[in-house]
A and B are shown apart, each in its own frame.
Chain A
Amino acid sequence: MPEATTPAIEPPLAHHFVSMRQQTEAARLGMWLFLVSEVLLFTGLFTAYAVYRFLYPTVFEEASRKGVELWAGTTNTFVLITSSLTVALGYHFAKEGRGKLAAALLAVSLALGFVFLGIKAIEYTNHFHEGQLPGKFYHFAEVQGPGASMFFTLYFIMTGLHGAHVVVGMTVLAIMAVRAWREEFGPVHFAPIELAGLYWHLVDLIWIFLYPLLYLI
């Protein structure tokens, strides 16, 4: 995030920092704080989930069993974890100065991001056809009763917000791939790709919480 768009091979030291080390440390701390605030953004939703699951335990269980496709969630979990691995490898090679290889690995991550969104789109289409929709649009006959639509309200808001993060993360990865291809990173200058990687891992991590809550339990 911070200073992520500076286009130069040798990192320019911004005028207000005294050393490269200080600049990198600041960028890193800033990113971690940003990630914390992202986690807290989702915390509100996790709280809502916990409360409603506590209020409607059986309906939630039923909705999760009949309403969502386990194969889709499981596949997507593997897709995202793999993409995190390729991002980590890309970062590793970028740091070693092997920009082309790093770019290729980031491109793979990007492709996996598209796979994730594709599967999500198939799922969403199914939900539309089955009437598994939030609030007043809900008309799924198999699960009825108080709280039934709430599961899908939360499902859509949580996966929707996560999906938006995936899109943002993919944009950042694409920019990093281009910059790695242009050999902009090396042993001295790798902060932007490191921060981009952190962001992608966070997107992944949030999914790792969403998966059990929505598909497994």
Chain B
Amino acid sequence: MNPSANSVVYNTPNYLDAEGGVRSWLFTRDHKRIGVMYLVLTTSAFALGGLFAMLIRIELLTPGPTIMSAMTYNRMFTLHGVVMIFLFMVPAIPGIFGNFFLPLMLGAQDVAFPRLNLLSVYLYLVGATIAVWGMIQGGADTGWTFYAPYSTTTTTKVVPILLGAFVIGFSSIVTGINFIVTTHTMRGPGLTWDRMPLFVWSIYATSIIQVLATPVLGMVLLLVAIEHSFGFGIFDPARGGDPILLQHLFWFYSHPAVYIMVLPAMAVISEVVCAFARKNMFGYKAVAYSSLGIAFVGFFTWGHHLFTSGQSAFDAGIFGVLSMFVGIFTAIKVFNWTATLYKGAIKFTAPFAYVCGFLFFLVFGGMTGVALATVSLDVHWQDTYFVVAHFHFIMVGGTIMAFLAGIHYWWPKMFGRMYSEGWALVAACTIIFGFNATFIPQFLLGNMGMPRRYYSYPAQFWPLNVASTAGASLLGFGFLLVLVYLLLSLKYGRVAGANPWGSRGFEWNTPSPPSALNFPVPPVFTHGPHDYQDRGPGEEPSPTPPPEAQHA
């Protein structure tokens, strides 16, 4: 980033060694440690959600009852959805990579409000604990959407689950505020908006949605909890309440929330694509602004979840058309990423394998989204496995692929060690193949009319369900593989060095792992991000690898 950084000697210890002991972690204000805490917490949540998913798939292995009762099944899919969405998908990428890399990319020493940042971790932890406590008490059986009147009358423990999600919402708001303020006020000298890494742009757009949409969800969850506990009648038709209002308010958050989940994924992909194609991003501005475009349009499309819920045909038409605009912005990004790859000097590494998976799944999932936004088609697909496959294609195929791309790309930076590249490629292939085997059958099942959220099904759906369960097992195995070799690399991995990929992202201009004080001297930015353009002779080849950390 700046020539002067190269002459700087890092004589401060790295952030992992800087202070020892549990206390130093529990009370840390260091954004990098907070990122690591999010990594541990959200991946644990992911494991829990994955466990529920496997139980669901095992139940669906045979047409009749397999391992559980209908009631248990209802709880399983509810808990799976709640854990995956609120405890993993929403907080994971911003919490882990946003915290770790946003300040490094901006040349800042930390986020704007380090104490609030720590508070967000604890809010997450408290929320997650309340929710898990609710699960131990018996869980809920409403689905993650908490539609009334069922959610307000069921005898299962919805209230702790609702309150857990409510508290986690505040964690999300605090993180969002922190990132917006950091981006506005903490950029290093010379880092103008049009030099900001695309990761920052996308995380910034995500944060805007988090600040604007999450409070509305918080209110809705609270209202459902109040209604369930006290019978105030807000959504109860017998007392003049309107259950559809709940759906509107819920999706006013939850549709933008799907962009809270996918924009950070796009953030990661933009970085990884440039690093492994060794080219500047094609159409930097288009990619940057399309993030804001998605964030904006995302607020006006929630009605596509209510096509069959009693909304007027006129509204349905409008919402259908508006939903398709999101496809346009997404397509802009996809075209730019592929154009960046075109004639790039591609290095086929594990992170890049996940990028390929991501691009394919996002396009496929996005197109099925556009198909679903077509009202006449949606009437047939609503509440079938087609919808389930659609959002899993984007959430698992998109966000989780990006998460895996990011973790493989940044692992050496975060922990200073390389993992086994061979095993990483094996795992990537397993995961991508397992993913297709799990969800392509679900599209077919949905199209044949298999409804979602039932624990048994007619025998003609059997073969495809077996395929789906087999795929899910492969997927789960792939994730375990990743966990194992990443953990092993911490101890046995080769020391990575400051910049093993030769990436020109700003964050690679620090030692690996970065020093506790990010930069001994605030860096000066002299050019844009992802700068792979060849420079004339005599010009500073930028960035040259910075000096190795001086710690032991």
Real complex partners, A and B? yes
Interface size on A, as a range, is: 35 or more
Instruction: Give B217 Cβ to nearest chain A Cβ, in Å.
Output: 8
Contact A52 B181 (CB under 8 A): no
* A144–B135 alpha-carbon span in the complex (Å): 40
Instruction: Mark out the residues of chain A between 118 and 146 whose CB falls within 8 Å of any chain B CB in the assembled complex.
Output: 134-136, 138, 146
Determine, out of B42-50, B68-76, B193-201, B236-244, the stretch whose residues face the partner at the interface.
B236-244
B240 and A52 within 8 A (CB): yes
Known: A2-B113, A16-B114, A30-B181. A48 touches B234 (CB 8 A): yes
Query: Which residues of chain B from 160 to 176 have a CB within 8 Å of any chain A CB?
Result: 173, 176
User: Which residues, 12 to 66 on A, are CB-close (under 8 Å) to B?
Assistant: 14-18, 22, 25-26, 29-30, 33-34, 36-38, 40-45, 47-48, 51-52, 55-56
Pairwise interchain contact B230-A37, C-beta atoms closer than 8 A: no
The distance in angstroms between the C-alpha atoms of A25 and B180, with both chains bound, is 12
CB pair B113 A34 closer than 8 Å: no
Proximity string of chain B (235-262) to chain A, C-beta cutoff 8 Å, 1 when within and 0 when not: 0100111100100110000000000000
- Distance in angstroms between the alpha carbons of A37 and B248 in the assembled complex: 19
Over the window 151-163 of chain A, the binary record of Cβ atoms lying under 8 Å from chain B Cβ atoms (1 yes, 0 no) is: 0011011000000
Q: Which residues from chain B contact A37 at a C-beta distance below 8 Å?
A: 173, 177, 211-212, 214-215
Q: Which residue of A lies closest to B230 (CB)?
A: A135
User: Contact partner of B109 among A16, A33, A34, A156, CB < 8 A?
Assistant: A16
| Complex CA distance for A18 and B108, rounded to whole angstroms | 9
Q: Size class of B's contact patch? A: 35 or more
Chain A binding surface SS class: helix
* Residues of A close to B116: CB separation below 8 A: 2, 30
- Check B232–A135 contact: CB distance below 8 A: yes
B451 nearest CB across to chain A (Å): 30
Given the complex, which residues of A lie within 8 Å of B226, measured CB to CB? 157
A147 at the interface (CB under 8 A from B): yes
Is the CB–CB distance between B223 and A136 below 8 Å?
no
Instruction: Check B181 against A146 for contact (C-beta < 8 Å).
Output: no
Determine the chain A residues whose CB is within 8 A of the CB of B139 once the complex forms.
none
CB of B64 closer than 8 Å to a CB of A: no
Chain A contacts of B212 at CB under 8 A?
36-37, 40
For the complex, is A3 an interface residue (Cβ under 8 Å from B)?
yes
Whether a CB of chain B sits under 8 angstroms from the CB of A106 is: no
- In contact, B185 and A29 (Cβ under 8 angstroms): yes
3 tightest A-B CB contacts, nearest first: A44-B219, A135-B233, A16-B110
Q: A26-B112, A135-B234, A150-B239 are in contact. List 16 more A-B contacts (CB 8 A).
A: A2-B116, A16-B186, A22-B185, A26-B186, A30-B113, A33-B181, A37-B214, A40-B216, A44-B249, A134-B232, A134-B233, A135-B227, A148-B240, A150-B233, A156-B232, A157-B226
B residues sitting closer than 8 Å to A (CB atoms) are 108-116, 173, 176-178, 180-182, 184-186, 211-216, 218-220, 223, 226-227, 230-234, 236, 239-242, 245, 248-249, 522
Can you identify 12 A-B contacts, CB atoms within 8 angstroms? A2-B115, A3-B113, A3-B115, A26-B182, A26-B184, A37-B177, A37-B214, A38-B215, A48-B234, A52-B240, A149-B233, A153-B234
Which A residues lie at the B interface, using CB under 8 A? 2-3, 14-18, 22, 25-26, 29-30, 33-34, 36-38, 40-45, 47-48, 51-52, 55-56, 134-136, 138, 146-150, 153-154, 156-157
